[in-house]
Structure 1
């Protein structure tokens, strides 16, 4: 259930550990979080032109061009 908690927010570097587990401290744009219920929920998109990679996943328009999302 990555991205659902923790303290990391903003658009800085992401903390991806590609181990097929979306950890609580991983950003929603990480490959492991593509299918996460929180990260994949469009209701979490702020749609303000800025990708908050910790709380917004690749499903959000703001994050679709994030380097971690380009493989989707």
Structure 2
């Protein structure tokens, strides 16, 4: 599975979670806002085992929890 640079360290399951939640998160945004939240704007992804989520950090300084149940916050 080919992974983008900020996500290379994720397991395949974590990467699938990232991509699935990212797709839902992206669809929930307006077209103009999506420009700031492309995959290429993700600078860091950290696993958070305590909260059962991935912490996804973007170039603009925003970050989100991507949860195992497919939601984000």
TM-score (structure 2 length as normaliser): 0.25
Give the number of the structure whose residues are more often helix, by fraction.
Answer: 2
Name the structure with the higher strand share. 2
TM-score scaled to structure 1, two decimals? 0.26
